[in-house]
Structure formats: C-alpha cells, structure tokens
A and B are shown apart, each in its own frame.
Chain A
Amino acid sequence: MQSRLPILVFALVMAAIPFVPGMPPFWIVLLDNIGLAALVAMGLVLLTGVGGLTSFGQAAFVGFGAYTTAVLSTAYGLSPWLTLPLSLVVSGSLAVLLGLITVRLSGHYLPLGTLAWGLGLFYLFSKLEFLGRNDGISAIPPLSIGTFRMLSPGSIYYAIWVAVILSALLTMNLLDSRTGRAIRALRRGHVAAEAFGVHTPRAKLLVFIHAAVLAGLSGWLYAHLQRAVNPTPFGAQAGIEYLFIAVVGGAGYVWGGVLGAAIVVVLKEVLQSYLPLILPGSGQVETIVFGIMLVALLQLAPGGLWPWLMSFLPERTSGKKPDTSLKLEQRTRAPAEAGVLLQVEKARKQFGGVVAVNNVSFEVQAKEIVALIGPNGAGKSTTFNLITGVLSATSGSISVLGNKVDKAPPQEIVKLGISRTFQHVKLVPDMTVLENVAIGAHLRGHSGPIASMLRLDRADEAKLLAEAARQIERVGLADQMHQLAGSLSLGQQRIVEIARALCVDPMLLLLDEPAAGLRHMEKQRLAALLRELRDGGMSVLLVEHDMGFVMNLADRIVVLDFGTKIAEGTPATIKTNPEVIKAYLGVAA
C-alpha cells in the first residue's frame, strides 16, 4: 500500500499551475500534450513494463478513440460526453479482437504483430471514406459543461489532468491487488503463475484491454482538444514514440509513464525549435537525435529515469504486517481426501526420440511423505510436470482421488489441492516476499479487476495477505516478509516457494529439491516443518538429492533411473537395494 499523499500534492500542484501569474499559454499546451501522452504511456507501463507484452500499436487505439468521437459528434451530432463511453468501448472491444489474436503470441512475435496491425490500421484510417481519408474530420465540437465550453487549451487542461490522475490511481490500485499480482507475475513466464490457478491468457488480455482503453481515452481527449483528427498522429511512428516514452520514464512504473511523457514532449519541442538553428535546412533532425538518444538510453539506463530518481529518496519503511487474525476460507475440498491421493499409472513422456519418463507407476497415500530420487536426468522434474499439468503425458494416466487428470491444465490441478515448488526458483524478484506468497492464495480470493481498481476488494485482499503472512511465519521467514524476493538467498527463496505452495491449502505438496542451498540447521527445520504438515494431514511428494535428508524424512522412496522406476520401498530397503546402488555409484567393484 503506497501513501496517497504525494499524489494529492501532485494533483494540487497541477491544479494550481494555470493560476500562476505570467504562465505562458504555450506551456499549458505542452502540459496538455504531456497529459495525453502520459495516458497512453501509462497503459504501456502496465502492458510492457509490468506484463512484459511489448506493443508498437498503441497509437492505433488512440486513433480508435479519436475517430469514434469525431464521427459520432460530427456526423451524428452526439454530445461528447455520450461519445466518451463509446470511444472507450470501441477501443476496448477492438483490443479484445486484436488481443485474442496477438496476446497468445510469445516473445518477439507480439511486438511484430502489433507493428503490423498498427500500420495496417493507419492505412485503413487514411483510406476510409467515412473517416475523411487523409484529410480526416474537422469541426469536432468542444467539450462543454452547461454553457462552459472548453475551447482553449487552458480549459481542457483540467479535463486532461483529471483523467491522467484518476487513471494513475486506478492503475496503481489494480497493480496492488490479487489481479495485479497475477499481472506482475506474467513477465517472468507463465508456468509459475499457472501453477497457482492464474489464467495467463486472460490476464494478458486484461492488461491489453486496460492499455487500449487508456489509449482510447487519450484519443477522445485529443479529438476534443484539437477539434480535428487526421491519420498522421496514429501511425507507426507515433506507436514507436509511445513506447519510447514508457522506456524513458521507466517501463515498470505508473508515474514513470507521466515522467517519460513530460521529458519526451518537452524535449521534442526543444529539439524542434532549436535544432534548426544549429543544423539549418533539414526537416527531420529531431528524429535523428531521438533515435540516437533511445539507443543511448537503453545502453546507459535500461530501467528508465523514474527508478533512478526514486533511488535518491530515502528508502520507504517496510509495509505494515497484515492482520493475521483474519481467516481465509478453506479450499473447497473433495468429500474424501483420504486413501490414495495420487495415482501415477504407466506415465510416459517422450520428447522426440528421448524417453524422459518411461512407464512409471507409483502412488501417494494420504498423510505420507514420499521421496522421488534418482541421478540427474532421471526424469524426476518431468514427472512433476506431468502430475501438475505443465506437460501432458504421451501415454499412461494420472489420477487424483480416483479421477483421471491426464489432460487437465495446471490451473485445474491446483484446484484439486495439489501445489508445487520449482527446481529453478520461479518467484517474481521485484515483488516482496509477502506479495509472492499471496499469489499462492490466488484461487482463494474472488475480487476481479474492476473491484480492485475501485478498492472494493479490501476485505478480500486483507484475508489473502493474512493467509500469506501466516504461511511465511510458518516457514520461519517472518523477518523477510517485506523484502523483495530477489534479494533473498537462493535457499530462502526455495522456502518462500514452499510458503507460496502452502497458501493453496493443499492436500498434496510437491517439492522439487526443497533442501538445495539450505544450511544444515535450515534443513533440519525444513524436515521438522514437513513432518508437522504430514501429521496435520497433508501429503508430501518431494524430489531431493540430499540422501541424509531424504532417508530421515521419507516414509517411502521411489527411485528413477533414465526415466524408469528401478525401486520402491522404505528408506531402509532402498539403502540396501543393489539396483539403486548401481544407479548411483556404478557397478560395485
């Protein structure tokens, strides 16, 4: 929870600026332009900086917003206030359409896709008859309240900045919520988020729509500020510029978008008015400088300017501890979580010609700790991925409480009460331990994005954080609760993953090398915790290389070698099994 005071101060300063005596009217125009660009950049911050989806096509959404109101308010004489929701709906629904196609694309396909449809739409704007082709649409009515008509840049100034500050608040609220955590987890890959029930394509589509609606809002304001629209400001160049703004400001920070917009708009103005004096006779010198600065910025300060500025402020004191007396309702349980929880039957996974898991069968009973061991490359982690739905088995079956779950996605598996940790830690390093662990309770919360933006989610949110805090205390990391997950040691990060998995309120916990990187005492504490969980009714399936740890802890051990199960039994029998000794040490001399 961030303090609202700086935002209030900022709002007051912005409100006072037009009243400063001797304020040149041109500066107000600049501030208007900054506000318009900031709205789009803010959407990009969420989309690119936070969600990891780069879009070069935002200018097209600005165009949708602007053209919607331009057409409706000129040809059909609708009031601009009526066209506002329509502009937003048009941008938003086109975002759904384009988003459904593009957000599933991974990595570099997404930005290229946005570049392509951004260009296509630009040409569409400039060719369509009812949008006025290249000339666009003019004589758009100004915004008005009663008889007050916002004709001058100074009068629409307030409309623009109210929009900016409100959007910033809503966006920050969204980020600081259950949905926000899911969005923030997107950039680090989808596997971890999905393991806790986050529907990642839906979360991506959500940020895509959010960014498009903000762009549409900017377009609507733009149309009524300029009172004319033509295709030029909605082309590929503009789309690139918006991204530049977000990168300059610091693509991960809402206020970075505003800062970036201020810097870029002012800089452009300065370059346009002074560069011709230095280098006369050329039209586009500012684009040259622009391009060079973009590259230089990426090389020198890839994080943008906002985090750099913030580093001068004294470090904020850690957040307050959630009220752990709040209880989160339990996961909905199957009627009988007893007997055989998990049954793996002849599970097989082939990657091309490689058989990673070869017809492996075993089961996990209620209240039991089972260890899955074997030399490197034995197929242990692949088995985990098969159970949790990250991979689907080539053949064989996996059942939970007697129901087959072979084709179920990770989001469904976690609903059954199976949660996991990862061999390679998958936490969001720039989120606090508390926030990371709270992702584990994702399915136990209910607030959606709109409720989060409007802060109607606080009761739900408090319970989620309380549960997360309880699990963090349980694993013994209470002191690190408000530190960034990335600042912890690798061993501690593994423990954070366990706390996150416990937030699911699981019946079966899958731990992939939980003791790796832990010190001796920490291992003992972990073993004690796992025994306590078992005695409390939970089952644990763990992959581990530390034999001392496994032998003292596990009730039963399954041994894999080259994808095949070679032994199963109690620790005592496994220790003396000749097959196992051979697999680990080679043929006895």
Chain B
Amino acid sequence: MNTTIMLFLVQDGITNGAIYALLGLALVLVFAVTRVILIPQGEFVTYGALTYASLAAGQMPGTAKLALALGIGAFAFDLFVARKALHGRLVVRSFITNIVLPSIVLALTIYFAAQKPPVAVCIALSLVIVAMIGLYLYRIAFQPLAHTSVLVLLIASVGVHLALQGLGLLFFGAEGQRGPAVLSGAFTAGSLRFTGQSLTVYGITIAFIVGLWLFFGLTLYGKALRATAVNRLGARLAGIRTTLSGQIAFLLASVIGALSGIMIVPITTLYYDSGFLIGLKGFVAAIIGGLVSYPLTAVAALVVGIVEAFSSFYASNYKEVIVFMLLIPVLLLRSLAAPAVEEEKD
C-alpha cells in the first residue's frame, strides 16, 4: 500500500465517519431525552435524501403527503387525549402545527416540484418535510408509550422503522437516486482532492457536535431535556414539559437525519432501504459512546468510517461483517466494566 491510497482511504473514511457521527449524535440525543433507541433514524436519512433528489429532478415526493397524513393523525391524538378538557386555544394550536403547517408545505411542494426548483429550495423543503414527519411520529407512536420501559420503546421503534421503510418503497420506488451537489467546486492539496461537498460535510458535522455539546452541557434548557430522560415524573414536578422535550428531540433528530441524507446523496446512490444500514453504523458509534457522550460518539464514528473504508479496500466482501463485529470487542469491554448495582424497573 502506498501513502496516497492510505491517505485517500482515510479521507474517504473521515467523510463517511462524519455522517455516522451526525447520526450517532442524533441517536444519543433522542435516547438521552426520550429513552427511545431511534432505529428509524436511517429512514430520516433516506427520506431527506430522496425527497431532495426527487424535488431536484422535478418529481413530487410522497413524503410531503405523508407529513400531512401523520399531522392529521397527530391532531386526532391530541384531540383524543384532551377530549375531557377541550378548550379553544389548545385545539387551535394543535390544528395549526399539525394540519395547517403540513398543508402549506404540501402546497409549496406541489408548486415547486413542477418547476425544478433551485438547490436551496429543495434543501429547505426536504428538511421541513422530514422534520414534520419526525415531530408527528413522536406524537403518534412514542408519546403514548413515553412512560414504558426502554425495551417497549425499542420494539415500537422497530415497528416504526418497518412502516417507514415500506412507505419509502411506495414513495420512491426500488430504483436508487442521486441528487445534485450542495456545494460544487473542489481544490487539491498534495495528492488529495477536497470537494466542496465533503467540506460541507465536515463543517456541518463539527458545528452540530459543538452545538449539541454546548446546548446540553451549558444551557438550562439542555439540562431540562436531560432531566426528562433520567426521571420523567421528577422533571414534570420541576415544571419541565416532558412531551415538549420529546418533540424537540425528535425534531432535531429528524433534521439531522435529513441533513445527513442530503449531504450524502450527491456522493452515493441511495435506495429506499439504504438508511437502515447507514443508521446502524451511526448506532455502532453511539453504542461505543455509551449512548451518553457526544465527543466520544463523534470519535467512534470516525473510527467506524475509517475501518469501513479500509475493510472495503482490503476485504470488500466482509465490509459489513467487520463493521458490525467491531461492536463485539466494545461490548466486551463494557461488560467487563459493568456497573456493580443497577436495578431495572418495569
């Protein structure tokens, strides 16, 4: 192996790793706030990417309709829960966030899809659509289960993943798609070529890592979100609106997912079911980070990306095997350092 190939592999690994880092961060974020292990994170990626690619190609993405359908569902859930104490303000607020908003976005999407919109509009629309899907999903699927155990939430999360993946096939078909580059242009440094696209990836990842770290470590609101995860009842008694925390976490996670998708779809062809594997690699990173530490997750994601790049060069057949088995030594270390007393509650 010569240095050029090695540098090239490292660069490739870092670009992928940066994406895994973003996803890993979103997983840590959602878990830390809601205790949901977000398997559908991968679907946020594909939905973001394919919505973006469809819009750029002048096609109408089905996700905009899904957002409205889920919004209607969320509205119904809101009404049902508040049926004994319905008052005007609550209904109006729920109606605006759950029905009016997705309707406007749907109308905009239909309008723009017909005329091959500029990249910025495509990005904005895709992000908003996926963000709404994330938000309503939390309302419909997870909020009613918020008091249950991590395991129940995990199984529900798997159910959501299955449904979203099936819908993905329905919306985008079995064909893979690619989108236009977010930032074109490139420059060379030594033997390495840096594209505007990969620089965007690095920039956004670093911004998110620092941002989340600061938000959760320093701000009062970030601490409130963390408190919700540790003890919902306690957080509620302290005046934290726990449902709002969950919604914010899902909103952030879906935006991060969609953004990751938009950033990689110009580099690689994505299929409706690609997200699952991408998301799981984010998971490997998140688990290495213990589902709590943002910086550790980011570092682990880079390791995952680099291991993947090298194994696809040397043993491309066993790429996935190697990446997922990477987890075993990590789990082994964690189990050796298992906490002495930890009681589970049902």
- B174 proximal to A (CB < 8 A): yes
Q: Are A106 and B342 in contact (CB under 8 A)?
A: yes
Once the chains bind, are B335 and A291 in contact (CB under 8 Å)? Answer: no
Q: Which of A2-10, A282-290, A527-535 contacts its partner?
A: A282-290
Complex interface bits, B323-346 against A, C-beta within 8 A gives 1, otherwise 0: 111011001101100111111111
Docked pose: A54 CA to B153 CA in angstroms: 12
Q: Are A105 and B170 within 8 A (Cβ)?
A: no
A431 to B339 alpha-carbon distance, docked (Å): 28
How far does the Cβ of B70 sit from chain A's closest Cβ, in whole Å?
11
- B158, B283, B335: the one within 8 Å of A240 (CB): B158
Contacts of B338 in A (CB 8 A): 104-106
A292 to B155, CA, bound (A): 12
Which of B101-109, B144-152, B245-253 participates in binding chain A?
A: B144-152
For A236, the chain B residues whose CB sits under 8 A away are: 276
Contacts of A30 in B (CB 8 A): none
Q: Are B150 and A108 in contact (CB under 8 A)?
A: yes
Contact A127 B155 (CB under 8 A): no
Residue from B167, B332, B346 in contact with A101 in the complex, judged by beta carbons closer than 8 Å: B332
Q: Which residues 266-311 of B sit at the A interface, judged by CB distance below 8 A? A: 276, 280, 283-284, 287, 291
Given contacts A109-B287, A123-B324, contact A294 B170 (CB under 8 A): no
A189 touching B343, Cβ below 8 Å: yes
Alpha-carbon separation in the docked complex, A116 to B283 (Å): 9
Q: How far apart sit A106 and B331, CA to CA, in the bound complex (Å)?
A: 11
Which residues of chain A are near B174, meaning CB under 8 Å? Answer: 283
- Are the CB atoms of B332 and A116 closer together than 8 Å? no
CB-based contact B283/A112 at 8 Å: yes
Q: How far is the CA of A283 from the CA of B284 in the complex (A)?
A: 30
Q: Please give, as numbers and ranges, the residues of chain A lying within 8 Å of B169 by CB-CB distance.
A: 282-284
Q: Is the CB of A188 within 8 A of B346?
A: yes
Q: Do B165 and A287 have beta carbons less than 8 Å apart?
A: yes
- Asked if residues A123 and B163 are in contact (CB atoms below 8 Å), the reply is no
Decide if A295 is an interface residue (CB 8 Å cutoff). Answer: yes
In angstroms, Cα B251 to Cα A42, docked, is 38
Size class of the contact patch on chain B: 35 or more
A302 CB contact (under 8 Å) in B31, B152, B162, B280: B152
Contact with A along B162-189 (1 / 0, CB 8 A): 1111110110001000000000000000
B320's partner among A106, A119, A190 (CB-CB below 8 A) is A119
CB-based contact A288/B155 at 8 Å: no
Pick the residue among A109, A191, A295 that contacts B343 (CB under 8 A).
A191
- Residues of A contacting B291 with CB < 8 Å? 108
Q: Which of A102, A243, A392 contacts B155 (CB 8 A)?
A: A243
Q: How far is the CA of A105 from the CA of B334 in the complex (A)?
A: 8
Q: Is the CB of B162 within 8 A of A116?
A: no
Give Cα A116 to B285, complex, Å.
12
Residues from chain B with Cβ under 8 Å of A117 in the complex: 324-325, 327-328
Count of chain A residues with Cβ under 8 Å from any Cβ of B?
54
Q: Does B313 contact A (CB under 8 A)?
A: no
> Is B219 interfacial (CB-CB < 8 Å)?
no
Docked Cα-Cα span, A123 to B316, in Å, equals 12
A136-193 residues at the B interface, CB under 8 angstroms: 187-191
**Bound: A186/B316 CA distance, A:** 42
Interface centre among A124, A244, A292 (most CB of B within 10 A): A292
Q: Give Cα A88–Cα B163 distance, bound, in whole angstroms.
A: 34
Q: Does B37 contact A (CB under 8 A)?
A: yes
A287 adjacent to B163 (CB under 8 Å): yes
Contact partners of A287 in chain B: CB under 8 A: 162-163, 165-166
Is B161 at the interface (CB under 8 A from chain A)?
A: yes
Q: Please measure, in the bound complex, the distance between the C-alpha atom of A540 and the C-alpha atom of B346, giving whole angstroms.
A: 32
B165: chain A residues at CB < 8 Å are 284, 287, 291
Q: Is the CB of B344 within 8 A of A111?
A: no
A-side contacts of B141, CB under 8 Å: 295
Q: Is the CB of B170 within 8 A of A116?
A: no
Q: What is the minimal beta-carbon distance from B291 to any residue of chain A, in angstroms?
A: 7
Set B167, B170, B323, B344: member contacting A107, Cβ < 8 A: B344
Known contacts A109-B331, A282-B170: does B163 contact A191 (CB below 8 Å)?
no
Q: Closest residue to A426 on the B side, CB-wise?
A: B343
Does A571 interact with chain B (Cβ within 8 Å)? no
A391 within 8 A of B: yes
| A116 contacts B324, C-beta separation under 8 Å | yes
Contact B328 A294 (CB under 8 A): no
Complex Cα distance A113/B283, Å?
10
What is the bound-complex CA distance between A191 and B328, given in angstroms? 26
CB distance from B42 to the nearest CB of A (A): 12
Q: Is A417 an interface residue (CB 8 A)?
A: no
Bound Cα distance from A302 to B148, whole angstroms: 10
B163: A residues at CB distance < 8 A: 287-292, 295
Residue B159 contacts which of A48, A52, A115, A294 (CB distance < 8 angstroms)?
A294
Of A48, A117, A189, A294, most buried by chain B (CB within 10 Å of CB) is A294
| B318 located at the interface, meaning its Cβ lies under 8 Å from any Cβ of chain A in the complex | yes
Taking the closest CB of chain B, its distance from the CB of A361, in whole angstroms, is 24
Contacts A286-B166, A294-B155, A295-B156 aside, 12 further interface pairs with beta carbons under 8 A come to A52-B344, A102-B331, A102-B335, A113-B287, A116-B327, A116-B328, A119-B280, A124-B321, A288-B163, A289-B163, A298-B159, A299-B145
Q: Which 9 A-B pairs have the closest CB atoms?
A: A291-B163, A294-B159, A291-B162, A120-B324, A288-B166, A287-B166, A104-B335, A189-B343, A123-B320
Residues in chain B within 8 A of chain A (CB atoms): 31, 37, 141, 144-145, 148, 150-152, 154-156, 158-167, 169-170, 174, 276, 280, 283-284, 287, 291, 317-318, 320-321, 323-325, 327-328, 331-332, 334-335, 338-346
Q: Which residues of A contact B (CB under 8 A)?
A: 48, 52, 54, 56, 101-102, 104-109, 111-113, 115-117, 119-120, 123-124, 127, 187-191, 236, 240, 243-244, 247, 282-295, 298-299, 302, 385, 390-392
